[in-house]
A and B are shown apart, each in its own frame.
Chain A
Amino acid sequence: MTTVIVIVIYLGLLLGLALFSKTLFRGTSNDYFVASHSIGPFMLLMSVFGTTMTAFALVGSTGKAFSTGIGTYGLMASSSGLIHAACFLLIGIKLWAIGKRYGYVTQIQYFRARFESSKFGYLLFPILVLLVIPYLLIGIIGASKTIYGITAAKTTKAGLVPGAFPNVFENGAIPPWITGLVISAVVLTYIFAGGSRAAAWANTFQTIVFMIMGILAFYLISDKLGGVGAAIEQAKDTHKVRTQSGHVGFSQLTFLTYMFIPLSVGMFPHLFQHWLTAKSAKSFKLTVVAHPICIAIVWVPCVLIGIWATGVPALQDAPSGAVLAKMVGILVKDPIIVGLVTAGVLAAIMSSLDSQFLCLGTMFTNDVVLHDSKKEYSDKQILYMARGFIVAIVVITYILSLLLYKKNVFDLAIWSFSGFAALTPLVIASLYWKRATRTGAYACVIAVFISWVTFFTMSGFGGEYFLAGGIVPAAAMWFIGATAMIVGSLLSPTPSERTLNMFFG
Chain B
Amino acid sequence: MNKPVILIIFLVLVVLHQDFWNWDNASLVFGFMPVGLFYHACYSLVAALFWGLVIKFAWTTELEEWAEGNSKDEGGAE
Distance of A102 Cα from B70 Cα, bound (Å): 10
A77 to B40: give the CA distance in the assembly, Å.
9
| Chain A residues closer than 8 Å to B34, beta-carbon distance | 70, 232, 240-241, 307
A133 within 8 A of B: no
User: Number of contact residues on A: which range applies?
Assistant: 35 or more
Q: Do residues B17 and A78 form an inter-chain contact, with CB atoms below 8 A? A: yes
CB < 8 Å neighbour of B23 from A228, A241, A304: A241
Which of these, B14, B48, B72, B76, contacts A114 with CB under 8 Å? B76
Proximity bits, B18-51, A CB within 8 Å = 1, else 0: 1110111110100111101100110111011011
Given A71-B36, A242-B36 in contact, is the A499-B76 Cβ separation under 8 Å? Answer: yes
The distance in angstroms between the C-alpha atoms of A307 and B25, with both chains bound, is 15
Other CB < 8 Å A-B pairs besides A117-B78, A291-B48, 10 of them? A85-B48, A93-B63, A113-B76, A228-B31, A232-B34, A241-B25, A242-B23, A288-B51, A300-B41, A502-B73
Find out whether the CB atom of B44 lies under 8 angstroms from the CB atom of A296.
yes
A97 and B43 form a contact (CB under 8 A): no
Contact with B along A225-251 (1 / 0, CB 8 A): 001110110000100111100000000
How far does the alpha carbon of A306 sit from the alpha carbon of B27 in the complex, in Å? 18
Instruction: Decide if B48 touches A81 in the complex (CB within 8 Å).
Output: yes
- The answer to whether B17 touches A82, judged by C-beta atoms less than 8 angstroms apart, is yes
Contact B17 A74 (CB under 8 A): yes
On whether the beta carbons of A240 and B36 are closer than 8 Å, the reply is yes
Top 7 nearest A-B pairs (CB, nearest first) are A97-B67, A228-B32, A296-B44, A240-B34, A78-B40, A281-B64, A292-B47
Q: How far is the CB of B35 from chain A (nearest CB, A)?
A: 9
A280–B26 touching, CB < 8 Å: no
Chain A CB within 8 A of B57 CB? no
B31 to A229, Cβ gap below 8 A?
yes
Verify B75–A73 contact, CB threshold 8 A. no
**Chain A proximity of B48: nearest CB distance (Å):** 4
Do B66 and A81 have beta carbons less than 8 Å apart?
A: no
Q: Mark A68-91, 1 if CB is under 8 A from B, else 0.
A: 001101100111011001100100
Is the CB of A498 closer than 8 A to any CB of chain B? yes
Write the chain B residue with the least CB distance to A75. B40
| A73 and B14 contact, Cβ closer than 8 Å, known pairs A228-B32, A499-B76 | no
Count chain A CB atoms within 10 A of each CB in B10, B44, B68, B75 and give the residue with the most.
B44
In the complex, A290 has a CB within 8 A of chain B: yes
Flag if A116 contacts B18 (CB, 8 Å): no
Q: Which of these binds chain B: A146-154, A158-166, A252-260?
A: A252-260
A498 to B64, CA, bound (A): 21
Q: Which residues of A contact B55 (CB under 8 A)?
A: 89, 285, 288-289
B69 interfacial by beta-carbon distance below 8 Å: yes
A30 close to B (CB within 8 Å): no
Given the complex, which residues of A lie within 8 Å of B14, measured CB to CB? 82, 259
With beta carbons under 8 angstroms apart, the residue of B22, B41, B64, B77 that contacts A280 is B64
Interchain CB contact under 8 A, A498 and B76? yes
Number of interface residues of B (CB under 8 A): 45
Given A74-B40, A292-B48, the answer on whether A282 and B64 have CB atoms closer than 8 Å is: yes
| A227 CB contacts on chain B under 8 angstroms | 32
B39 closest partner in A (C-beta):
A74
**Partner of B67 from A96, A241, A288, A293 at Cβ < 8 Å:** A96
- Judging by beta carbons under 8 Å apart, are A102 and B36 in contact? no
Asked if residues B75 and A109 are in contact (CB atoms below 8 Å), the reply is: yes
**Can you offer 13 A-B residue contacts whose CB atoms are under 8 A?**
A74-B19, A77-B44, A81-B44, A86-B10, A93-B63, A101-B69, A229-B31, A240-B26, A281-B67, A291-B48, A292-B47, A303-B37, A496-B76
Contacts A232-B34, A296-B41 given: A256-B18 contact, CB under 8 Å?
yes
What A residues does B37 contact at CB under 8 A? 70, 73, 300, 303-304, 307
- Tell me, yes or no, whether B1 is within 8 Å of chain A by CB: no
A501 and B74 CA atoms in complex are apart in Å by 12
B residues less than 8 Å from A240 (CB atoms): 26, 28, 34, 36
Residue A94 lies at the interface, judged by CB distance under 8 Å to chain B:
yes
Chain A residues contacting B26 (CB-CB under 8 Å) are 237, 240-241
Please indicate the chain B residues that have their CB under 8 angstroms from the CB of A116 in the complex. 76-78
Q: Is the CB of A70 within 8 A of B36?
A: yes
Instruction: Knowing A71-B36, A86-B10, A114-B76 are in contact, say whether A259-B47 is a contact too (CB < 8 A).
Output: no
Partner of A101, one of B20, B40, B66, B78: B66
CB distance from A309 to the nearest CB of B (A): 14
Q: Is the CB of A293 within 8 A of B32?
A: no
Is the C-beta of A295 less than 8 angstroms from some C-beta in chain B? yes
Residue contact B18 to A252, C-beta cutoff 8 Å = yes
Minimum C-beta distance from B61 to chain A (A): 8
Which residues 303-358 of A sit at the B interface, judged by CB distance below 8 A?
303-304, 307
The distance from the CB of A240 to the nearest CB of chain B, in whole angstroms, is 4
For residue A100, CB closer than 8 A to chain B, the reply is: yes
- B43 near A78 with CB under 8 A, answer yes
Which B residues touch A303, using CB under 8 A?
37
> Shortest distance in angstroms between A364's beta carbon and chain B's nearest beta carbon?
18
What's the Cα separation between A289 and B55 when bound, in Å?
Answer: 8
